Amino acid sequence: MSIVVCVRVPRWVKEVLERHGVRVSELVRRLLIEEAERLSEEELRRILDDVAGMLEGKIDPCEWA
C-alpha cells in the first residue's frame, strides 16, 4: 500500500529538473526510501548496542563458539 506525498519547490527547480530529464517522482521516491532505510538501520544499531551493553559480562563467548 502506498500514500501520496506532495511537496512545493520553486518553479526554477522543477524547470531545471525537467530540462535535464529528471523524473521527479522517481527521484523523490528513491531518496525517501533510502532515508527511511538509513533511519531504520540507525535505530536498529542503537537497539543492538543497548542489548549488547545489557548482556556484557553475562554471556561467556566460549560457550557460543
- In this prediction, residue 65 carries a pLDDT of 64
Q: Does the structure show a pLDDT above 90 at 63?
A: no
List pLDDT tens digits, range 29-43. Answer: 999 999 999 999 999
Q: Does the structure show a pLDDT above 90 at 56?
A: no
Burial state string for 24-63 with b = 16 or more CB within 10 A and e = fewer than 16: eeeeeeeeeeeeeeeeeeeeeeeeeeeeeeeeeeeeeeee
What rounded mean pLDDT belongs to the chain?
A: 94
> Whole-model pTM?
0.76
- In this prediction, residue 32 carries a pLDDT of 98
